[in-house]
Chains A and B, each alone.
Chain A
């Protein structure tokens, strides 16, 4: 049996080395100049945070790049980021439903739901689909700008010294957002009402449609935006949904389909294919829209979305 004992001893030694090595990594890294560490789940929030906080904050994003915030789960390294963060901002309204993320949020002492804050301010403006809240409120800048002051207040509580600065920057940001909001509104108005219909892969643009695509005073703005996949683009797709969209395309003579940057194009390709067989001339836009994932700055990305939509819908075949 000595062979077995030898093996077990070596194993034990190795394991203890590994444990010590890991432990060492957890030494605290307090820096001299104390920045407020803020981690936001999505870039749309993180961008606001950097604008408001400036140099006094270190703004990090959890769900980076093209990753899907609906189903994101924590990976190696996220734990540390979160542990060291002073504040956590998240969207709420049911966006982040990955189990590990929800657990992290509920256990962190300083977590603020941006969407919930906006909901408290303007409960009637939150959209619902059936019994589920639609979390994509960043698509409506006039609503999203209401997040700015709550963010500023939260950072001010963590860093009272910088409070005046934060409030000032918040005001400036809000004005900037209002300007962009107006600009996008105007450019969407340039599209003729009968062409102003948006079809993408999943239900990310309902707020966008209500704010920018609806004709003034239009109560039933829902047809302005439809998508085959539901609020989260990871559920099972159903032929009934595809049929619904086909009927919709047919009814409103819609020609343009818009892909999203981080969602599979299977569903709109299927629509294209079926449409061809039914005699509808459909096209897929070359430009992908930002739906859930925003690369670059939030406001720039929104402008980019508007620009793509304007170009595609204005210049589509004059037939």
Chain B
């Protein structure tokens, strides 16, 4: 069986710093995996590079054995909530419908199937009542659910979520986790950038620990233990950051 996401010697950098290097791992299909690491470890960068939003310096990325261009339609991305302007004039339903834009050709109109799929997705996340509401009126938890609905509508095989549980209430978090678990049980692969260590054993099957480089990747029972966590969240990396900054500055004459 092909792995859902496989990276081979990935390096990512900008302005002559390397932010991630030599990351190689393989996540099989059908599991729920969290991406863990301290601030600045490169978790979001990993996700964004996988999706082609950031250019990689070297290495290979494959989804289900194929490069991004081919497997794009099987992947859904749920970005961080702050990245969006919630004052934008758009209704909840229209946001969810955007998930379908990738499947439509240039001037093709939205079809009935698209609209029904959007309504269903809203139903699944418990937001049907807010379909015609402006997104500015939604609470944090409702916004996150909306984003997930948008991802659902793409009918993907792989979900990539960036800090979906940041800043939302416990009730919403529960709804989202239950939904994700249901999807996982249906064979979908879920990869989540996560920040809350205590909830890891409850929510996830696998963990990917990174701090600029790969610490470990595998089932929780194998990799989620004290030694690895120390390596991931320990202070050794900050020294590295300082040194890199000094070097970069000297190179450009500051």
- Touching chains A and B, CB distance < 8 Å: no
Residues of B within 8 A of A (CB): none
Q: Please give the residue numbers on chain A whose beta carbons come within 8 Å of chain B beta carbons, in ascending order.
A: none
